[in-house]
Structure 1
Amino acid sequence: MNISFSKPPECVLRENLPGESSLSHPGGQWLPGASINPARNCLDENGKRSLNDTAIIWRDENHDDVPVQKMTFKELREEVWLVAYALEALGLEKGSAIAIDMPMHVKSVVIYLAIVLAGYVVVSIADSFAAAEISSRLNISNAKVIFTQDLIIRGDKSIPLYSRVVDAKAPLAVVIPTRGSEFSMELRNGDLSWHDFLDRANSLKGKEFVAVEQPVEAFTNILFSSGTTGEPKAIPWTNITPLKAAADAWCHLDIRKGDIVSWPTNLGWMMGPWLVYASLINGASMALYNGSPLGSGFAKFVQV
């Protein structure tokens, strides 16, 4: 799979000795001693992808009459580098939790990869959640920042999102305007517009961001159970989990360089991060439809 480690593992699996028990590694330890950055493994040029290969294909709902949009690996990694530099400008301690509460589109994927590349931990929150559900996940993860957008557009409906984040008493929010550069409501004091957030790093645009390599046991993403049977339970992904996602895609779904993978989902659910790693690590293209997959628009997108 052309996985790149900054420090290679001592072996693939170190099994526990007879009579040895380990709460953290009950069945043994995978890739002991290794250090890695899974986001870098999505972006670097190798035998599975060239910089001119297509990384993401997307279309917005109600735009069936226009060609699909595309982003190459070169364009994707430059976008990710810029956001990673802007994240560092916030002055957060490495390993801090940073939430994403957005639909799954190009910007949210870029933000996801930038958080991981820069050595922080993604907190996944589904964009359908009410304020109380957002608040509980922010409190459990101790998130320091949240990325969101002001509205979600579905057909002729405008669904508020930033207002729910505000009602959840979220920490610093970086807010992406859904329509042009205007927001549907005034931002809280201290919150940043997407434009102002990126302005902190614009002088570094195009400069490579050196990935933060961490031990395989380090957390990279905190997902959550649905919370239908009580308080949602945190489900941490380590740096090994993205490799498992990519390996399952390679082995069981035959995802290879040149393939296109679409899975209507959200970063708040495990299939969102799975799609990122399953496609990009294997050199395939990720296909994102920014809208409801229930109508003919999604079928036309897949057909294209």
Structure 2
Amino acid sequence: MSDSFLASGIRWEDTELARFMRRYGHADLAGVHARAAAEPARFWAEVAEAAGLRWARPYTRLLDPDAGPQWPRWFVDGEIDLHDNLVGRIAREDPHRIALIWEGDDGRTDERTYAALDDEVRRFAAVGVGRGGRIAMYLPMVPETAVVLLAAARLGAIAMPLFSGYGADAVANRLRDGGATVLVCADGCLRRGRQVDMIGEARAAAALCPQLNELVVVPRLRGAASDAPVARRWRESDYRRLLDAAARQPGPAVFPADTPLMLIYTSGTTGRPKGVVHTHCGFPLKAAQDMLMAFDLKPRERIGWITDMGWMMGPWLVFGSLLRGAAAMLFEGTPDHPAPDRVWRLVERHRLTHLGLSPTFARLLMARGDAGLPPPGALDSLRVFGSTGEPWNEEPWRWLFERVGGGRCPIINYSGGTEIGGGILACFPGLPQKPCGFNGPVPGMRADVVDGAGRPIPGLRGEVGELVLRAPWPGMANGFWNDPERYLASYWSRFPDTWVHGDWARIDADGHWFIQGRSDDTLKIAGKRVGPAEYESALVGHPLVEEAVAIGVPDPVKGETAVCFVTLAATDAAPAAEDWAACEHALRAHVAERLGKPLAPARVHRTADLPRTRNGKILRRLVRAAYLGEPPGDLSALENPSAIACIRACAGGAAETA
């Protein structure tokens, strides 16, 4: 990784974080972190005030730590009207301000003002679910996803956003686990110009869930749902007809700050997903804080993120942007369809100020050459790039920063997770950046890097260790749904009163942080720990390689050795299949030159595809399982199942040449 510092076109003193520091008397970022550690109640009160939270009933105590850092109580006795904080107050004060922007895969667009969104949410809140009931959402990125999310909050119900690419079994597993009685689904969606049937999958899932009472169908493809009576155990309603017939729910909707808001499922390595519980105050506050401090999102600006509502970044986008008084752009389609410049056209068409995308997508566009670059002037409105989900490699990072953004837009590298409710580490606009790195923890996140005994690793040593958190924060998970023991075992069981996040990280001599990958993905070769990102960065630096994944496999001599998989760049120099042995030798030598001969990979396999989620995150655990012939575990988040066969074919070829 490069140690060079790069500056963007944003001035530090103009940022929202700098204003926060001036407002509350913080001399520098170190002072912010110090106050958060020494006086957490005071610091989080400042954050809540800066985020503009309005209390229907003031809290009597900001933090009650008596049950330990695993189970803190935040904003004790406080009550909040979350809908009014997010939508209602702006609907009254500035009704024509844009709240939601939408673009479909087919290019259709729509906008909702705060007033229109307020009205639609109040109407949909007439659905018959009481406080604590569960409303599941199986929807593509259409405006109705935000409406249902907000309506659940207004009802005091618990929203269950589900990934729109799930099949019936994956949907049913989550419906049963969460006990959802209402499922809101789309009749279908568009994906790369193809119609995807969702209502069929939803009905098949409903048939497996005896507790489900109602299926509400959003007409994305086929217009209104049929009125013809169908013999089903559950009731089916058309979303638009339901809305038209509903009375607008009046008045406030006030609930205690710790009321459960949302149940987000994350895929585990086994067949059982984890249901992460978030609360009315915690998740929206954390999202808004990160947008203010890390992304410098200002009221009336426009932020889009290439994601799905079933992933944490979907609800994060909606709750955080609305609490900031900004607009969220929801995109149904694929960012390189029908042309590689589609994502840049989104920025141009909707005048986005912030755009979030994955490192994988940047790598794919970079491989397209000039076709992957934005047209002149398309990014004139853009101030900030966002990125999350996986580590960067330096070449695509520089491509995005220099070739695409012209050195003007900072890349806010952002790393956290569903259980965090946002980010642990981030960059901060206006401060110098290092390629692929982070400026440091988000204020209030007491992050550290520790060795195997839980001892801090001094930053000057630059050694890789476990990323941990030493204090709670309001946006953290309020446990796993009906499974507190699993929550404690997952994050709190290794070191006393310490959250172990599962990422390898290091801090360099300048205080910049770097994520080296998931700690359960890390290779240990001849006693030396190596992050898969080090192999992958070396490989994608070779002109033949477009993408790369490294895994560790058992080795009788070294204990473990690296096996890598690459997809090839579309160049005239791409080798024929019969020439691959020579290319593999060259790539192994290329890695050895950068990492040292003892760390040279045992094999480099050519593959047509790599297993990934819809938002572009490559699933290393599936690569390893397929290659070693092990049970793959939960496949529900997989976007391209055919990639598993590609990896298995590599394993077959390896066996033949052994």
Deviation, structure 1 residue 263: 0.6
Amino acid at match of 2:317: L
Partner of 1:112: 149
> Which residues of 2 match residues 95-106 of structure 1 at below 5 A?
95-106=132-143
CA gap of 1:196–1:70, structure 2 versus 1, over 3 A, is: closer
1:79 to 120, 127, 142: 120
Is residue 33 from structure 1 mapped to residue 83 from structure 2 by the alignment?
Answer: no
Query: Following the alignment from structure 1 to structure 2, what is the Cα–Cα distance between the partners of residues 267 and 188?
Result: 31
Amino acid at match of 2:200: S
Which stretches of structure 1, 4 residues or longer, exceed 4 Å deviation after superposition? 46-49, 182-188
> Which residues of 2 match residues 131-170 of structure 1 at below 5 A?
131-168=168-205, 169=207, 170=209
Contact 1:62–1:297 (8 Å) recurs in 2: no
Partner of 1:12: 62
Task: Return the index of the structure with the highest Cα Rg.
Answer: 2
Normalising by structure 2, what TM-score?
0.41
Contact 2:264–2:277 (8 Å) recurs in 1: yes
CA gap of 1:2–1:235, structure 2 versus 1, over 3 A, is: same
Aligned residue for 2:89, secondary structure, equals: coil
Partner of 2:603: none
Partner of 2:255: 214
Query: Following the alignment from structure 2 to structure 1, what is the Cα–Cα distance between the partners of residues 91 and 153?
Result: 23
Aligned residue for 2:325, secondary structure, equals: coil
Contact 1:49–1:257 (8 Å) recurs in 2: no
Q: Over residues 31-72 of structure 1, what are the superposed CA-to-partner deviations in whole Å (9 max), with x where a residue is unaligned?
A: 111111323211122599722211112222232xx7x53221
Partner of 2:241: 196
Aligned residues: 287
Deviation, structure 1 residue 195: 3.2
Deviation, structure 1 residue 230: 2.6
Deviation, structure 1 residue 94: 2.0
Deviation, structure 1 residue 106: 0.8
CA gap of 1:232–1:281, structure 2 versus 1, over 3 A, is: same
Contact 1:2–1:48 (8 Å) recurs in 2: no
Deviation, structure 1 residue 182: 4.8
1:2 to 39, 44, 52: 52
Query: Following the alignment from structure 2 to structure 1, what is the Cα–Cα distance between the partners of residues 222 and 139?
Result: 17
Query: Following the alignment from structure 2 to structure 1, what is the Cα–Cα distance between the partners of residues 304 and 155?
Result: 26
Partner of 1:298: 343
Q: Over residues 175-225 of structure 1, what are the superposed CA-to-partner deviations in whole Å (9 max), with x where a residue is unaligned?
A: 122235255998663211223322441xx2xx4533432112210100011
Q: Over residues 50-106 of structure 1, what are the superposed CA-to-partner deviations in whole Å (9 max), with x where a residue is unaligned?
A: 22211112222232xx7x532211111111111112x1xx3x332100100001221
CA gap of 1:47–1:93, structure 2 versus 1, over 3 A, is: closer
Deviation, structure 1 residue 127: 0.7
Partner of 2:278: 237
CA gap of 1:179–1:130, structure 2 versus 1, over 3 A, is: closer
Contact 1:225–1:233 (8 Å) recurs in 2: yes
Amino acid at match of 1:216: A
Deviation, structure 1 residue 132: 1.0
Query: Following the alignment from structure 1 to structure 2, what is the Cα–Cα distance between the partners of residues 12 and 182?
Result: 47
Aligned residue for 1:95, secondary structure, equals: coil
Normalising by structure 1, what TM-score?
0.86
Unaligned runs of 5+ in 2: 1-50, 350-658
Deviation, structure 1 residue 299: 2.2
Is residue 176 from structure 1 mapped to residue 218 from structure 2 by the alignment?
Answer: yes
Query: Following the alignment from structure 1 to structure 2, what is the Cα–Cα distance between the partners of residues 154 and 211?
Result: 39
Q: What do you get for the CA RMSD once the two structures are aligned?
A: 2.5
Query: Following the alignment from structure 2 to structure 1, what is the Cα–Cα distance between the partners of residues 300 and 93?
Result: 9
Contact 1:45–1:51 (8 Å) recurs in 2: no
Amino acid at match of 1:32: V
CA gap of 1:76–1:195, structure 2 versus 1, over 3 A, is: closer
Unaligned runs of 5+ in 1: 17-21
Query: Following the alignment from structure 1 to structure 2, what is the Cα–Cα distance between the partners of residues 139 and 250?
Result: 37
Partner of 1:259: 301
Partner of 1:19: none
Query: Following the alignment from structure 1 to structure 2, what is the Cα–Cα distance between the partners of residues 175 and 46?
Result: 29
Query: Following the alignment from structure 1 to structure 2, what is the Cα–Cα distance between the partners of residues 301 and 38?
Result: 30
More displaced stretch, 224-233 vs 272-281: 224-233
Amino acid at match of 1:3: L
Contact 1:289–1:298 (8 Å) recurs in 2: no
CA gap of 1:6–1:282, structure 2 versus 1, over 3 A, is: same
Higher relative contact order (CA 8 A, sep 6+): 1
More displaced stretch, 168-177 vs 262-271: 168-177
Amino acid at match of 2:342: G
Query: Following the alignment from structure 1 to structure 2, what is the Cα–Cα distance between the partners of residues 11 and 256?
Result: 29
Is residue 44 from structure 1 mapped to residue 88 from structure 2 by the alignment?
Answer: yes
More displaced stretch, 169-178 vs 100-109: 169-178
Query: Following the alignment from structure 1 to structure 2, what is the Cα–Cα distance between the partners of residues 177 and 135?
Result: 21
> Which residues of 2 match residues 62-77 of structure 1 at below 5 A?
62-63=106-107, 68-77=109-118
Aligned residue for 1:12, secondary structure, equals: strand
Partner of 1:269: 311
Deviation, structure 1 residue 302: 1.3
Query: Following the alignment from structure 1 to structure 2, what is the Cα–Cα distance between the partners of residues 123 and 28?
Result: 23
Contact 2:130–2:155 (8 Å) recurs in 1: no
Query: Following the alignment from structure 2 to structure 1, what is the Cα–Cα distance between the partners of residues 333 and 76?
Result: 42
CA gap of 1:175–1:52, structure 2 versus 1, over 3 A, is: same
Contact 1:38–1:243 (8 Å) recurs in 2: no
Query: Following the alignment from structure 1 to structure 2, what is the Cα–Cα distance between the partners of residues 15 and 226?
Result: 30
Contact 1:98–1:120 (8 Å) recurs in 2: yes
Is residue 93 from structure 1 mapped to residue 143 from structure 2 by the alignment?
Answer: no
Contact 2:80–2:256 (8 Å) recurs in 1: yes
Query: Following the alignment from structure 2 to structure 1, what is the Cα–Cα distance between the partners of residues 95 and 231?
Result: 39
Query: Following the alignment from structure 2 to structure 1, what is the Cα–Cα distance between the partners of residues 65 and 56?
Result: 23
Amino acid at match of 1:111: V
